[in-house]
Amino acid sequence: MLVSSDTPALSARSLYKSYSSGDSRMDILKGIDLSARCGELTLLMGPSGSGKSTLMAVLAGLSRPDRGTVSILGQPIADLGEANLTAVRLRQCGFIFQSPNLFGALSALDQVRLVLQLTGAPAADIDSRAWESLKEVGLSDRTHLKPSAMSGGEKQRVAIARALVKQPTLLFADEPTSALDRTNGDLVIRILRRIAHRNGAAVLCVTHDSRLVGHADRIVTIDDGRIVSDERPETPDTFHHRDIEHAAS
């Protein structure tokens, strides 16, 4: 990543968003200001219904706010048309969701190659980049498997490799560990942390999984559509520094 860690990768000002169903209107985001720097793993925490997933969707350009602005690497995305917004996501953003959303028909390697192929990577690089990405999440010996032959943790790691392979500046993860057991959940958050630290990406992770707290550089807590706290844990847990490949094996 060429972006220095002082540049805000993402900044949001006075975000408002509401949903209406029938006659009732629900305000989900009630004036959120937030910025995220490259090289940090930020957790967005809060109880169910606090608006954290909606916030992530708005920050990532997957949903438009009613009011307020979002800028990705200094570029406001509010006025971008659908095609330009897609292009920004293509260049800058990676996504991981609670469910891995993998195509049942494709092997792990093909899941990753498909993204490269569709996003216009040079054909000569596709195989090596896909391999590299799967190796990074500790799946170099599982590349030929289809989702039906993989465990939940392995599938989630393929999803991470797929998000990672574009080398995004911003990586959004929505409840990436909530469907995983402790070991796999641990593994996934370590990978996310490493992506932030080693690749210099801004990683935003929405979670209500308290196991992840010890791994974060910054924890933003949301309740009722507002940010209620924004803290940086002072002493990171020492086992964050363990080698991820070691943990994967």
Pairing of strands 41-45, 67-72: unpaired
- Give the shortest CB-106-to-other proteins separation in angstroms: 6
| Nearest Cα to Cα of residue 204 among 222, 227, 220 | 220
Q: Which C-beta is closer to other proteins: that of 206 or that of 244?
A: 206
| Nearest Cα to Cα of residue 31 among 49, 44, 14, 18 | 14
The total number of residues shown for the chain amounts to 249
Site membership for other proteins, residue 84 (CB under 8 A): no
Pairing of strands 170-174, 202-207: parallel
Q: DSSP of 230-245, one letter per residue?
A: EE--SS--GGGGS-HH
- Give the shortest CB-149-to-other proteins separation in angstroms: 12
Site string for other proteins, 36-75 (x = CB under 8 A): -----------------xx--x--x-xxx-----------
- Counting residues that bind other proteins (by CB under 8 A) gives 38
- Give the shortest CB-196-to-other proteins separation in angstroms: 19
Between CA 144 and CA 166 the distance in angstroms is: 20
Binding residues for other proteins (CB under 8 A) = 53-54, 57, 60, 62-64, 82-83, 86-91, 93-95, 97, 99, 101-106, 110, 113-115, 117-119, 146, 162-163, 166, 174
